[in-house]
Amino acid sequence: MAGSGKWVQLKVTCSSKDTDAVSAVMSMVDNGLMIEDYSDVETIINGVYGELIDESIMNADRSVASVSVFVPLEKSPAESEAFIKRQLDGSGIKYKIEHTGVSEEDWADSWKQYYKPIKTGKKLVIVPLWEHYEPEEGETVVLMDPGMAFGTGTHETTRLCASLLESYVSPGSRVLDVGCGSGILAIAASKLGAGSCFACDIDPVAVKVARENADINSTPNVRCEVSDLLRHVPRTDGGYDVVVANIVADIIIRMSPDVGGYMAENGALIVSGIIDTRAKEVTDVLRSDGFVIESEKYENGWYAAALRKK
């Protein structure tokens, strides 16, 4: 492929019983996985080739496995790492993640030279803070310095949600962004005319980054706080007109019974972070909790939907 030719290895170590689940998450970044799992080595040892197995493999901890994916620098390994963490945390899997192939001092910045302005819909253009961009007539610019948080606009789910926001945010809208990452979607909503935006994330680092990005974009109506899903979300008179949740399928399912109580009558719910093979599972739950699908989008195996509260 064209690009720098430099790759970063992201390696997740987990219990061998979680290998398949971790592999499924890692394959969302890239299908080329390297799996080290010695849980079945007993079968091989007892076979005719047992004497040929390296001693280090024979003595390996068979309760532990690791899954690696190789990400080119131009694909933002830092965002891929943040994405993997979000998916695994949402699944409740215990793990350790490490990266090799780039020095620690360069980790946060090594990919920046490849991060260029990205148009996500008809209006929104996500522009790295360090890039100069002259917007064309009708374009709305969102400046981003994502740091170690998820949300540069390079991932399909972010782009899908941003494009849906263009259709559902109107002047004065009250917007809630659950699992805000870098704050990109709340800031985009503000730039599209929202009256107020509450953004929350369980990760304090993400909230710090989101606050900094809100300042960079001069969007004082974006408030960013730490919250485990809806636990610390303030209720508003009349409810939120638009709720956006670019998180993971399991967390959207967990949030589904409660989110309607925070929404305005006929409010819109935008969801993504969902692999297309799990779209029906998620939307079936949302339908059972009183939502009607209004719009659906697919891109490269990812699914996003806008739903209305009945």
Tell me the CATH number at 123.
Answer: 3.40.50.150
Identify the weakest region by mean pLDDT among 107-121, 179-193, 215-229: 107-121
Is 127 in contact with 141 (CB distance < 8 Å)? yes
Does the pLDDT value for residue 50 go beyond 60? no
> What is the structure's pLDDT at 248?
87
* Residue 200, pLDDT above cutoff 70: yes
Q: How far apart are CA 227 and CA 102, in angstroms?
A: 32
Query: Half-sphere exposure (CA, 13 Å, Cβ side) for 240?
Result: 28
| Owning domain of residue 156 | 115-309
Residue 2 lies in a domain: no
**Residue 55's pLDDT band (cuts 50, 70, 90):** low
The answer to whether residue 58 scores a pLDDT higher than 80 is no
Are the C-beta atoms of residues 41 and 124 closer than 8 Å to each other? no
Query: What torsion do the CA atoms of 252, 255, 257, 260 make, to the nearest 10 degrees?
Result: -90
d(CA 224, CA 202): 11
Amino acid letter at 278? R
Same domain (yes/no): 298, 247:
yes
The average pLDDT across 253-259 equals 96
175 and 236 part of one domain: yes
Strongest mean pLDDT among 47-51, 57-61, 196-200: 196-200
pLDDT, average across residues 57-86: 80
**Residues 226 and 204 sit within 8 Å (Cβ to Cβ):** yes
- Confirm if 275 and 301 have CB atoms less than 8 A apart: yes
Closest CA to 174 of 124, 223, 125, 120: 223
Which residue in 100, 108, 83 sits closest to 6, CA to CA?
A: 100
In the predicted model, is pLDDT for residue 222 greater than 50?
yes
State the average pLDDT for the chain: 87
CATH no. for residue 48? Answer: 3.30.70.120
| Nearest to 153, CA basis, from 230, 220, 213, 229 | 213
Per-residue pLDDT, 120: 92
Same domain, 236 and 263: yes
Residues 164 and 55 in one domain: no
Q: Which amino acid is at 92?
A: G
Q: What is the structure's pLDDT at 59?
A: 52
Do 196 and 272 lie in a common domain?
A: yes
Residues 96, 121, single domain; the answer is no
What percent of the chain has a predicted confidence (pLDDT) above 90? 61
Give the tens place of pLDDT for each residue, 164-197.
999 999 999 999 999 999 999 999 999 999 999 9
Are 133 and 235 members of one domain? yes
Domain end (from 44, 72, 106): 106
- Tell which of 86, 106, 126 closes a domain: 106
5 burial level (CB within 10 Å; 0-12, 13-18, 19+)? exposed
Predicted confidence at residue 147, as pLDDT, reads 76
Residue 44, pLDDT above cutoff 50: no
Alpha carbon of residue 139 to chain centroid = 24
What strand order describes the sheet that includes 140-144?
Answer: 118-119, 124-128, 140-144
Total structural domains in the chain? 2
CA-based max dimension of the chain: 72
User: At 136, is the pLDDT very low, low, confident or very high (cuts 50, 70, 90)?
Assistant: very high
* Residue after which a domain boundary falls, among 106, 125, 149: 106
Q: Which of 3-12, 24-33, 56-65, 213-222 holds the top average pLDDT?
A: 213-222
Q: Is 165 found in the same domain as 248?
A: yes
Q: Same domain, yes or no, for 100 and 132?
A: no
Q: In the prediction, which pLDDT does 67 show?
A: 94
Separation in Å, CA 235 to CA 1, 82, 198, 289: 49, 29, 10, 19
How far is the C-alpha of 116 from the C-alpha of 240, rounded, in Å?
33
Residue 1 lies in a domain: no
Same domain, 298 and 163: yes
Does one domain contain both 120 and 89?
no
Looking at per-residue pLDDT, the higher value among 46 and 93 belongs to 93
Cross-strand partners of 291: 309
